[in-house]
Structure 1
């Protein structure tokens, strides 16, 4: 991994496809694996059936195949035998105990996975910058967000979108404009109404590509009340006074000199 660059910039790596993990601040390491779109891979029967059902063009078939190859490789990196990766709604359905995300861009497919509650990864090639004209940027970027690399902002929002399955907490479609990204040393901290902040790791390839990744750990289960006699109950604890803190205090404070997104 590389040393983070200035706030609002993503650190550079010579070859994003050589990465094997992304460190998500406050969460842990997310395993990564890449596969070239021109590679042919043996798929499981269930994956082949899904490909026949969902992929109408040869190009889409190549993307699907490379995505599943990357998924098999990332499962191996986690110490698990490859298994079929199908779909559960909008998310790829990794084996029980593993959350993962798939993305293809340019000549590559990438898979990110780990033992987390949710995972999102995104890869954008330098060519994607050509599609981000001023009108498109205004649709998903607040003015404050446009002070950073807008391709990295777009990719960070895509990672969070994938982690949430494209849905807001009320089940409605989640537009990218409702995902607010604030620059941080590791990339971004993303905010979505009704959710805790998402730390988004961002890496910039020497070729102008951008890779972002986020993850949410499983919540810690509440400690059960110790066994008591039948006539006894768990004592009620007196209410404690809490102090409200900014949402981003869960991960990193706002960078100096950068206006928070609102």
Structure 2
């Protein structure tokens, strides 16, 4: 699923030790029954996992064109995706890409995210889900980035000590929705920026929809993940 590059001002920032990654991984594993009930497979991988290697010549070629940090995240993300697909009817093949979006095996949809040296992926059979989007954020965003994440109507939400946490949750929710909308909608109608997605708080997360016209509505669930948050959106078949 594509990133929303206009809001990635903090994406190369990483926790200074392993504690954030480890606690986030524990939080994500505790979510596995919830995700499974929604038809989603979960995969995790650390950036320095020895198994984070190209699965074939296509991944090897893509990785070779990347810098060291991006290559590490890319390979960890592909390993996480294969782990998310590790069910009897899901072959573990190369996961290449279409533009900025990972190309999951035929008959499956999925999403990959990585932050702070930890990669997470969700995957599901296309017969059960139309689209999936997920996002992991382990570091807070500077408050001065709010204008590229929140519309004027959204900046009236909590301020004070909770402002940074709210901004991170909204950013992560929009990233997850952005990825799901990119699968659900043709390129001409899919949101091109995070500001093109409107959020409304609901229990457990947000309700997201494209601004400026009709479009699908997605419920985005947001949960704590170690020092940060994890968000996911899924559009079920039927």
TM-score (norm 2): 0.74
Could you tell me how far apart the structure 2 residues matched to 1:71 and 1:14 are? 15
1:63 and 1:78, CA in 2 relative to 1: closer, same or farther beyond 3 A?
A: farther
Q: Secondary structure at the match of 2:86?
A: helix
Tell me the residue number matched to 1:208. Answer: 227
Deviation at 1:173, TM superposition (A): 6.0
Structure 2 residue 154 is matched with structure 1 residue 145: yes
Structure 2 residue 111 is matched with structure 1 residue 91: no
Structure 2 residue 203 is matched with structure 1 residue 185: yes
Q: Secondary structure at the match of 1:99?
A: strand
The question of whether the paired residues in 2 share the 8 Å contact of 1:100 and 1:114 is answered with yes
Deviation at 1:145, TM superposition (A): 2.9
Structure 1 segments, 4+ long, off by >6 Å, are: none
Deviation at 1:168, TM superposition (A): 7.0
Tell me the residue number matched to 1:258. Answer: none
Q: Secondary structure at the match of 1:117?
A: strand
Tell me the residue number matched to 1:71. Answer: 81
Could you tell me how far apart the structure 1 residues matched to 2:180 and 2:88 are? 19
The question of whether the paired residues in 1 share the 8 Å contact of 2:104 and 2:110 is answered with yes
Please provide the CA RMSD for this pair: 2.7
Tell me the residue number matched to 2:214. Answer: 194
Deviation at 1:171, TM superposition (A): 4.9
Residue segments in structure 2 that go unaligned for 5+ positions in a row: 1-23, 159-165
> What does residue range 78-157 of structure 1 map to in structure 2 within 5 Å?
79-115=89-125, 116-125=129-138, 127=139, 129=140, 131-134=141-144, 136-146=145-155, 147=157, 149-157=166-174
- Match among 18, 27, 50 for residue 62 of structure 2: 50
Could you tell me how far apart the structure 2 residues matched to 1:143 and 1:151 are? 17
Deviation at 1:170, TM superposition (A): 2.3
Structure 2 residue 177 is matched with structure 1 residue 160: yes
The question of whether the paired residues in 1 share the 8 Å contact of 2:182 and 2:190 is answered with no
* CA deviation map 1:11-61 (0-9, x unaligned): xx893342453757xx934222110011122422221122123x1x11111
Could you tell me how far apart the structure 1 residues matched to 2:147 and 2:111 are? 27
Could you tell me how far apart the structure 2 residues matched to 1:184 and 1:91 are? 28
Higher helix share: 2
Could you tell me how far apart the structure 1 residues matched to 2:202 and 2:49 are? 36
| Aligned length in residues | 199
Residue segments in structure 1 that go unaligned for 5+ positions in a row: 1-12, 221-262
1:164 and 1:39, CA in 2 relative to 1: closer, same or farther beyond 3 A?
A: same
The question of whether the paired residues in 1 share the 8 Å contact of 2:80 and 2:120 is answered with yes
TM-score (norm 1): 0.67
Deviation at 1:79, TM superposition (A): 4.9
